[in-house]
Homo-oligomer: A and B are copies of this chain.
Amino acid sequence: MRWTRLLDLTGHPTFARITGEAAQPIQGTPFGPPGTWHDHGDPIALDAVSWLPPVQPSKVIALWKNFHALALKQQQTIPEEPLYALRAPSSLAAHRQPVVKPAHYDGAVFYEGELALVVGKTMRAVGPAEVRAHLLGCTIANDVTAMELINRDPSFAQWSRSKSFDTFGVIGPWIDTDFDWTGASVRTRVNGRERQHYPLADMIFEPLTLLSRLSHDMTLEPGDLVLCGTSVGALPMRPGSELEVEIDGLGVLANRYG
């Protein structure tokens, strides 16, 4: 099953399910048990959809240094625990929505293609074996970061701020409930040129372990997003760039920067 959110034909936000080349609006949410939602209204052709971020999370957790290849390239140690910052939910942007930096920031802005996990049920200190039943599914993220902000003040690393500008948290186009990440790769293209291409199997804390660990830190709620971190190849973007993050078997998330 693939879920998304969109503006219906009357301009109202609604959840929808993807059915081949169309999106079928539903009444209800993907978070309830089967039978608590039903199709509602006419299907919309995918190329005519007004996309919204597929969830409205209460929090967005962004992992840092979660791939062996990136840690190696940056001559960093392998972390002993998941390292993360929170990103403001107000930063989320949808498939096809432009990414725009605020007027006051003139430093470099980096793309970061990533796998994102969507929590389906409330999780408090859940063991790894029970995580799968709490996961709604996976989506694609471009974890856009105002990189020069992070260490601009030498006394305090501004991780949350560097990721919280409006439109910097790109996710979508949909959540796939059956996606198998174990053999898949992430590819990021800028103006059609491949800049990132890395296997998800290289993750340091793989998704089920990661969600279990995070749920021991804090209660995870339905719709909460975990961005699994990026690997090698993230670079600054020029205004006007066309960005695409593709994950095999999951889809393509496309946005313009600036």
Which of A's residues lie within 8 Å of B, judged by CB? Answer: 58-59, 64-65, 76-77, 79-81, 83-91, 102-104, 124-125, 153, 155-161, 164-166, 216-221
Contacts and interface: CB of A to CB of B under 8 A. Distances in A.
Contact of A59 (B90, B157, B221): B90
For this chain, the copies found in one complex come to 2
Instruction: Decide if the interface of chain A is mainly helix, strand, loop or mixed.
Output: loop
Contacts of A159: 85, 156-157, 159-160
A84 B155 contact: no
B59 A218 contact: no
Given A64-B156, A84-B161, A164-B218, 15 more contacts: A58-B89, A59-B89, A65-B155, A81-B153, A83-B158, A86-B160, A88-B218, A90-B221, A102-B125, A104-B216, A156-B159, A157-B159, A159-B160, A164-B217, A165-B218
A63 to B, nearest CB: 10
